[in-house]
Amino acid sequence: MSLLRRSVATFAAATAVLAATAGCGSGSEGGSGGKTKLSFFSWENEQTMKPLIDAFEKQNPSIDIEFSTAPPVAEYISTLQTRLVSGTAADVFVIAAENKTNLVQGGFVKDLTGKPFLANMSKFNTEAWSVDGKAYGMSISSWSAGILYNKDVLAKAGVSEFPTKWDDFIALCQKLKAAGTTPYYEGATGLPLSVAALVGHENARQGGDVDAQIFAGQKKFGDLWTGPLTTYNQLFTSGVMTKDVVGLKGEQIVDEFVNGRVAMIAAGPWDVPTLRQKAPNMNLAFAGVPTPDGKPFWAGAASPGWAINAKTQHEKEAEAFLTYLGSKEAVTLFNKGTAAMTTTSDVTPVIDKVLEPNLKALKDGTFYLPQIAWPRVQDALNTEAVAQLQLMIQGQAKPEDVAAALDNRLKSS
């Protein structure tokens, strides 16, 4: 965390360094045999992207893709920032909610407005990666995440219907714990999905535009966050979730779930292929995050987009790559490999049956992601939120302290 903080703190200053090195390329080099080497930095792993890269290279034999990856979110953002500052960032990379403003305001990404490869994209997705009406990323899918549970384990506890009210959810967790089963795991190395869902529920309850009022100086973060954080913190004050989750990574949580050592986890569509592979017979189900009034909500947003480095020396090849990534063939491959809920106009996604509630949440609009709702300062606010939440989980901060820290961070930005 301290490394990320330093990275964020030095990012603005480093922009000046980058400006001084504006003559540097994106790090791409000419390939052997007359081929162009196009660098691509993603937070999807190699297993996900290799089929698409192989197919692109087969159709474009004059281009070699040089692929690198870092896991989302903090490590990816930090690595990209470092490479941008040093002038070695890839020709094509991911633009995310946490770094959109920095990338656009810093002049690090090309304006893609009107490019033909955006024609098949969902309007909602393209707007998510736009600033002042200009598009800077191509996003081919959306996601919604909630609570994934083992139906057999809950059935043994006498549960046939997943709770919709938060108090009932805590009661379920206590019942499972008393029976010797770890009830629920959700990591906190990033912003917890349940926090995003609870804040989204509160935002909807207050009319849906609270973030805009906060950034206009008409409301405070405490008006929106203190209640949901108090609700979320009951996981720890009641003792149903251990404080050790602060250090748990996503793959560790999935492994604990696969091995039957935990009954419920916070999860998204990206976890489904791994679970189907590791535990093909597990009886799975998704549910929205329970809320105080019994109206479940989900974390969710347009998936991160692919952007072109403003300093690329291979703009034509980068556009060809995005054209392929947005094609029917590539989107179909991506959907097959990730179970992603793709949103392009010419592909009907094939989703795992367990994701039907997630898809319904997208259609109902019952999803939210703070970093998308924040019109600026997303990176700094996200870093502050995660750091303060970790303190709260460890009993070193109260919910109102977290909200006040966000207000202070926004004020100082």
The pLDDT tens digits for 335-351 are 988 878 999 999 999 99
Q: Which residues of 304-328 are buried (b: 16+ CB within 10 A; e: fewer)?
A: bbbbbbbbbebeebbbbbbbbbbbe
| Contacts (Cβ under 8 Å, ≥6 apart) of 275 | 148, 254, 257, 258, 282, 284
Q: Tell me: the pLDDT tens digits for 263-287? A: 999 999 989 988 999 999 999 999 9
Residue-level pLDDT at 250: 84
Which two tokens mark 12? Answer: 């603005």
Average pLDDT score, the chain: 90
Instruction: Name the nearest CA neighbour of 390 among 223, 196, 234, 247.
Output: 247
Determine contact, residues 96/73, Cβ cutoff 8 Å. Answer: yes
For the full predicted model, state whether its pTM sits above 0.85. no
Q: If you average pLDDT over residues 67-81, what whole number do you get?
A: 92
- 188 band by pLDDT with thresholds 50, 70 and 90: very high
How far is Cα 28 from Cα 337, in angstroms, rounded to an integer? Answer: 28
User: Residue 322: pLDDT above 50?
Assistant: yes
More confident residue, 213 or 47: 213
User: Residue 292: pLDDT above 60?
Assistant: yes
Long-range contacts of 5-14 (CB under 8 A, 24+ apart): 5/383, 5/387, 7/77, 7/78, 7/81, 7/82, 8/81, 8/379, 8/380, 8/383, 11/81, 11/85, 11/102, 11/379, 14/81, 14/85
Residue-level pLDDT at 17: 36
How far is Cα 148 from Cα 355, in angstroms, rounded to an integer? Answer: 10
* Domains along the chain with CATH numbers: 37-138+304-339 (3.40.190.10), 144-301+370-412 (3.40.190.10)
Q: Tell me: the pLDDT tens digits for 149-176? A: 999 999 998 988 999 999 999 999 999 9
Query: Please, is 396 exposed, middle or buried when counting C-beta atoms within 10 Å of its C-beta (0-12, 13-18, 19+)?
Result: exposed
Q: Tell me: the pLDDT tens digits for 360-407? A: 998 898 999 999 899 888 889 999 999 999 999 999 999 999 999 999
Q: How many residues are there in the chain?
A: 413
Q: If you average pLDDT over residues 91-115, what whole number do you get?
A: 94
Residue-level pLDDT at 1: 27
